[in-house]
Amino acid sequence: MRHRHQGGPEAEGSSRRRQLVLVTCCLSLFIVGLDNTIVNVALPTISRGLGASVSGLQWIVDGYTMVLASLVMSAGAMADRFGRRQVFQTGLTVFTISSALCSVAPSLGWLIAFRVLQAIGGAMLNPVAVSIISSVFTGRAERAWAIGVWISMFGVSMALGPVFGGILTGTVGWRSIFWVNVPVGLIAIALAARFIPESRAAVQHRLDPVAQVLVIVTLGSLIYAIIEGARTDWRGLGIRGLFVLAAAAFVGLVLWELRRKDPLIDPRSFRSLPFTGAVLTGICSFGCLGGFLFLATIYLQDARGLSALRAGLHMLPTAAAMAVCPLLAARLVASRGLRVPLTLGGMALTLSMAAMSRLTVSSGDAYLVVTFMVFGIGLGMVDGQISHAAVSAMPASQAGLASGIASASRQMGQALGVAVTGALLNANLHGPVQTEFIHASRPAWFVLTGCGFIVLLLGLTAVQIRSPRAAADLAASGPPATREMPPQPPYSGQPQILQSLEPPPEPARLPRYQMSQPAPGHPAPGSGNPSTITRRDQVYYRRQWRAGNEQDGHTEPSAAQRAEPERPLHAGPD
């Protein structure tokens, strides 16, 4: 899709400047997404080079994804307050410098520390880039196109990560996987200084450092207890204390956020079952991704004895499917709604993880190619729909919050996937990895199969949501007169422009908590809450209406009559 701007040389120059801003933001997303997956293929080589155990390899991955998940929610608020270009350039600088430091890390501890520093820089890039794109592309159509291009870069970078990692590790060495970020980061820094304008939010809200600390404590203590409990002793006092600390920090986070006017994470959002389902889908699907990449690379290189280059080439079917399937999923959403791609994706994830649990050292290449491709199809079907489902389930004024939580759920799922599968592998490993991996990894594959099955169940129960094209047309024409909602303050932790891009809930298919006021003249059919209309109630009222018409001699209404607007539905308790 090409957007032409008329009006002489000034308009042409402005268009070129906007395209360069988009390129800069895409470069930042490319290096962040690439680092999510490129390291996994190099893990066996890093283990031999730095003498790392299984838990050490887990920390190389989780040190990045855990910090990224913890800080991504606060980055948008910081950019709104201190300036988007300034925060964006700071993130690029920190990410580029830490990537160079990772390539020269003298020991495992230093490598993990530099990976944490990488994640701190990476957390300043993604949410801020959306704000920058939104402030530069002012038209609704061109803004939607620009954000669509930017989002597609993330899937491409994550798909190419294992392939690039295998090629670089096999030809140059594991340290070269971090060199890729340095020139890309320097180019992005120069483009940002030259073309990205400085901007701030019109309404700046206070930061929430208490909630941020509680998020870090919750995730950090939980993942540390999972990883180190398998290496030491689950019954140890320190490990149990960390689990208790994680639970206490989580309860404290909920209580604290319920008291704040502008919370970092609003616990009330999870009253929406479709929104909660979207978050769980993100956690489970990316838990499958984290566990799959962690276990598959060890299997290919340690159990089967393949080189890093050949292991990376084995990941090509996964990368190809992850790059192609989001386009197919978008068309399915436009024609059939979210339920179809989420169900197909959950089915593919379940089948592929179940097939991986039957791996042996002598499994044929055809079996691996098909299994890896089916996994890529599953993740490609699900990935692009997580944010769509989350934002569509929330009011338009909370679109930024929903998008931020959905993004954090991906990173948290990947971190938990590596932690849990690595812990199960470590707990069942009673000998060398080369000989004991097949037996020791089977429980981990079963857990990932369960995660895929949860995605399948969530897809089957997903609320039917209109296509993005129909939602965009509705947003352009303004809200319907029968859906008046009271004004709500905008959420500043994430970019507000997503409010005009993501679809509101489907008026004809509202969740239970949005359906109230029984029809006049009809008593509630014994539901738990007499002021709430459930789907069962709707069926009851429909049957009563048909029975009354049959007695009066009336016929079914025509299609035009059924299309007439109904009386407004007002939000009620769940």
Domains, the chain, in order of start with CATH, read 14-197+262-469 (1.20.1250.20), 512-562 (no CATH)
Q: Which of these, 498, 515, 499, lies nearest to 463 by C-alpha position?
A: 515
Rounded Cα–Cα distance for residues 453 and 463 (Å): 18
DSSP state of 197: P
Token pair recorded at residue 541: 């009222």
User: Is 463 in contact with 511 (CB distance < 8 Å)?
Assistant: yes
DSSP state of 4: -
> Where do the H-state alpha helices sit in 172-307?
181-195, 209-231, 237-259, 273-298
User: Would you give per-residue pLDDT tens digits along the chain (574 residues)?
Assistant: 444 444 454 555 577 888 898 899 888 888 888 887 888 888 889 988 898 888 888 999 999 999 988 888 887 777 777 888 888 999 999 999 999 999 999 999 999 999 999 999 988 887 788 778 877 887 777 777 887 778 778 778 877 888 888 889 888 889 999 998 999 999 999 999 888 888 776 666 677 889 999 999 999 999 999 998 888 888 889 999 999 999 999 999 999 999 888 888 888 888 888 889 989 999 999 999 999 999 999 999 988 888 888 888 888 888 888 888 887 887 888 788 888 889 999 999 999 999 999 998 888 889 999 999 999 999 988 887 887 778 777 776 666 667 778 888 888 999 999 999 999 998 888 878 788 889 999 999 999 999 999 999 998 887 554 444 444 443 344 433 433 444 444 444 444 433 344 444 444 444 443 444 444 444 444 433 333 444 555 555 566 656 655 555 545 455 444 444 444 434 333 3
Q: Taking the chain, what is the end-to-end CA distance rounded to the nearest angstrom?
A: 42
List b or e across 149-181, with b for residues whose CB sees 16 or more CB atoms inside 10 angstroms: ebbbbbbbbbbbbbbbbbbbbbeeebbbbbbbb
User: Is 408 in contact with 388 (CB distance < 8 Å)?
Assistant: no
User: Is 386 in contact with 278 (CB distance < 8 Å)?
Assistant: yes
213 by Cβ neighbours in 10 Å (0-12 / 13-18 / 19+) ranks as middle
- φ and ψ of 516, to 5 deg: -145, -175
- Identify the helix (H) or strand (E) that includes residue 123: helix 108-123
DSSP state of 207: P
Rounded Cα–Cα distance for residues 40 and 302 (Å): 13
Q: Which of these, 437, 325, 462, lies nearest to 381 by C-alpha position?
A: 325
DSSP state of 497: G
Please report the beta strands in 485-561, taking only residues with DSSP state E, as ranges in sequence order: none
* Residues facing 516 on adjacent strands: 532
Sign of CA dihedral 549, 550, 555, 561: positive
Token pair recorded at residue 224: 């540390």
Can you spell out the DSSP letters for 369-390? HHHHHHHHHHHHHHHHHHHHHH
Residue carrying the six token digits 């689950």: 234
User: Is 239 in contact with 225 (CB distance < 8 Å)?
Assistant: yes
